[in-house]
Chains A and B, each alone.
Chain A
Amino acid sequence: MNQTLEIIKEARLMKGNEALAEAAIRAGMHAYFGYPITPQSEILEYFTREVPQRGGVVLQAESEVASINMIYGAAGAGARVMTSSSSPGISLMQEGLSYIASAQLPCLVVNVNRGGPGLGTIQPSQGDYFQSVKGGGHGDYHLIVLAPSSVQEMADFVFEGFALGEKYRNPVMILADGALGQMMEKVELPEEGSLEYPENSWATIGKPKTRERNIITSLFIKPEEMEQVNLELQRKYKKIEENEVRFEEINTEDADVLLVAYGLSARICQKVIELGREKGIKLGLLRPITLYPFPKDALASYTDKVNFYLVLEMNAGQMVEDVRLAVDGKKPVYHYGRMGGIIPTPEEVLKNVEELLEKQMVTNE
């Protein structure tokens, strides 16, 4: 078989949730613990079907609370572990995530975001941005947050997520949405076994006579100790902010208006750019790939070049706050959003751009 044919064989048409699950198996995931919730139940279903035949642990827990604490235990025992859920379930995991962040355990958590608040809707949303990037649980901590915008990235970011989590001993979240989870696209799956396992001499696997016991804990009752732990975490976050920012720029070289969007919204923006440019409106897109660490310098670098920024989100305006902090008042930053599981159309976004341009012209006159 020649090389071209092999590549064709590896390119499959898959649902985002299934591509992500298959990638996790190929990434050498040891254990998955999860609980069913729409729109991501295919992940648990895929694992319960595949893992028993291909090796590893898969367990349907009694709740998301139990899942995340199983993740804590298995990660603390040095395993490569993952869980997934959707918004209400992710809310239930916040306690565990805070403990995991404090105990500095690597793990991968997938949030296939649906519309909220409350039980909300099963339709796609980006309403969990704040919860994902600002901590979510109690205390000063961060998840590393990756935002895929295609089925291909749903698969690729699993490898990226495990690697980043293990490099920094930090929980990593893949923040997708119901559309990315459910839609089918062509995907080339990463090669099985290509992700090496890290050193983990800190893991609780039983204490040999030759070393002191290992303890996984987030309890540091003396304030002096607790502050030192916090300072260590902050040093780690600084390193992450310096080294791990990822973003994509599309048609930004000559852009008069910079669209800023992640995930599904970024896909919509690509169509907006196309429609805009047909009408002579020079639109560009900056797509944050890591939502934490946030590409603030990249965003700030456009303040001299564009007339304004427009942030498109499927929420009431969350990431826009971080864009405004990055732009620091040097240019207007607007927001366009739909909520409750409504996906904005490229046409309505372009109409909003045109209105903003018109308003600006009136102001300038």
Chain B
Amino acid sequence: MSLDNSNNGMDVVYRKPETLTETPLHYCPGCGHGVVHRVLMEVVEEMNIQENTVGVAPVGCSVFAYHYMNVDMQEAAHGRATAVATGIKRVLPDKFVFTYQGDGDLAAIGTAETIHSINRGENILIIFINNGIYGMTGGQMAPTSLIGMKTSTSPYGRDEKLIGYPLKITDMITILPGAHYVTRQAAHTAGAVRKLKKAIQKSFEYQKEKKGTCFIEVVSNCPSGWSMTPVESNKWMEENMLPYYPLGDLKVPKAGTN
């Protein structure tokens, strides 16, 4: 797209990156997925790595991520995205490989694949969208649902005595030597989006240097699954999700070392 300033005397100050397709997003109004898709693809465009990027889509709301992201992509079985990414990266070690997964995919059915891929230090970027609910299947309890959270399969609220505690998988994987960079971000404010973008940039730079696994949790909302308006859901997220899943870096490579 050219920055044609002559047209009507108006400047283009904001545009869709070429790395997103023309397909309209199917996500619910106010959902964080659209923002995260965009930021991820902005980085791919700005780093000029579209030709060298292969993505892996999960099962869940972002199952159709490949409809929107204009890069070569593979659709993985539920929970298997990091195993699929391992297969891709091992035969194409110089390409940029990322997975994009939700909480059910990454932290329930795919727990083994997640932990072992990171433990091997696979040179991939894992983007983990945590909204504490299974959105695609209609709002069931997720491994990351908060205590007391009402979902279609925890209608009386999540009871830790019955079903255990919300899984802080990001904290868990931080201790693995294969994890190079681990951070928890959000995408609900302009400031949060800027920080998220920086984290994605850093991750691809680390991947280029073959440093190990980069892992970005994005704490997100689910207006439909939480039965809230977008504004309410972001407020609820700040007040309830963020105290349990506080934002910030969990593991940062030490300067001058690996």
A305 on the B face (CB < 8 A): no
Contact (Cβ within 8 A) A62 B95: no
- Complex interface: stretch among B73-81, B188-196, B220-228: B73-81
Check B113–A96 contact: CB distance below 8 A. no
Q: Is B63 on the interface with A (CB-CB < 8 A)?
A: yes
Q: Give Cα distance in the complex from A81 to B84, angstroms.
A: 13
Q: Determine which of B63, B72, B91 lies in contact with A215 in the assembled complex, contact meaning CB atoms within 8 Å.
A: B72
The stretch among B2-10, B52-60, B137-145, B203-211 that forms the contact with chain A is: B52-60
Nearest opposing residue in chain A for B50, CB measure? A207
- Give chain B residues whose Cβ lies under 8 Å from the Cβ of A25: none
Contact, CB under 8 Å: A213 / B71: yes
A206: interface (CB < 8 Å): yes
A95–B113 alpha-carbon span in the complex (Å): 15
Contact of B86 among A59, A63, A75, A79 (CB under 8 A): A59
Query: Restricting to B59-75, which residues have a CB under 8 Å from any CB of A?
Result: 63-64, 66, 70-75
Assess the B112–A66 pair: CB atoms within 8 A.
yes
> Is A65 close to B, CB under 8 A?
yes
Main secondary structure of the interface of A (DSSP, over half): mixed
Pick the residue among A33, A65, A205 that contacts B80 (CB under 8 A).
A65
**A32 shortest CB reach to chain B, Å:** 10
Task: State the interface size on chain A (CB cutoff 8 A).
Answer: 40
| Chain B residues within an 8 Å CB radius of A127 | none
- Whether the Cβ atoms of A73 and B56 lie closer than 8 Å is yes
A104 to chain B, nearest CB (A): 13
How many chain B residues touch A (CB < 8 A): the figure is: 33
Indicate if the CB atoms of A61 and B83 lie closer than 8 Å: yes
Contact of A216 among B51, B63, B73, B89 (CB under 8 A): B73
Most buried by B among A33, A74, A95: A74
Rounded to whole Å, the gap between the CB of B7 and the closest CB of chain A is 25
B251 adjacent to chain A (CB < 8 Å): no
Shortest CB-to-CB span from B1 to chain A, Å, is 14
**Cβ-closest chain B residue relative to A75:** B87
- Expressed in whole angstroms, the minimum distance between the Cβ of A140 and any Cβ of chain B is 18
Other-chain residue from A33, A66, A76, A206 in contact with B113 (beta carbon distance below 8 A): A66
The listed residue (B63, B70, B91) touching A74 by CB distance below 8 A is: B91
Contacts of A236 in B (CB 8 A): none
For residue B116, CB closer than 8 A to chain A, the reply is yes
Residues 39-76 of A, flagged 1 when their CB comes within 8 A of B and 0 if not, give: 00000000000000000010101110111011111111
Q: A217 and B75 in contact (CB under 8 A), knowing A57-B91, A77-B92, A208-B51? A: yes
> Would you give the shortest CB distance from B75 to chain A, in whole angstroms?
4
Measured between alpha carbons, how far is A214 from B50 in the docked complex, in Å? 12
Residue from the list A59, A67, A76, A208 in contact with B74, Cβ < 8 A:
A76
B99 to A: closest C-beta gap in Å: 10
- When the two chains form their complex, are residues B112 and A63 in contact, meaning their CB atoms are under 8 A apart? yes
Q: With A65-B80, A95-B77, A215-B73 in contact, do A207 and B87 touch (Cβ < 8 Å)?
A: no
User: Assuming A204-B54, A205-B92, A207-B51, is B87 touching A72 (CB within 8 A)?
Assistant: yes
Contact string, A13-50, partner B, CB cutoff 8 A, digits 1/0? 00000000000000000110100000000000000000
Q: Give residues 165-181 of B contacting A (CB, 8 Å).
A: none
The yes or no answer to B85 lying at the interface (CB within 8 A) is: yes
Could you tell me if A77 and B51 are in contact, using CB atoms closer than 8 angstroms?
A: no
B88 within 8 A of A: yes
Pairwise interchain contact A209-B51, C-beta atoms closer than 8 A: yes
* Docked pose: A103 CA to B70 CA in angstroms: 19
Q: Which chain B residue has the least Cβ–Cβ distance from A72?
A: B84
Once bound together, how far apart are the Cα atoms of A47 and B50, in whole Å? 34
Question: Is A73's CB under 8 angstroms from B112's CB?
Answer: no
Check A7 for interface membership: any CB of B closer than 8 A: no
20 contacts between A and B (CB under 8 A): A31-B90, A57-B90, A59-B86, A66-B112, A69-B76, A70-B84, A70-B87, A72-B84, A72-B87, A73-B85, A76-B87, A95-B77, A103-B75, A204-B54, A204-B88, A206-B72, A213-B66, A215-B72, A216-B74, A217-B75
> Can you add 10 more A-B contacts, CB < 8 Å, to A31-B87, A57-B91, A69-B87?
A31-B90, A33-B87, A63-B112, A66-B83, A72-B77, A73-B74, A99-B77, A206-B50, A207-B51, A207-B70
Please name the 5 residue pairs, one residue from A and one from B, whose CB atoms are nearest each other, closest first.
A73-B87, A74-B87, A73-B84, A69-B83, A70-B87
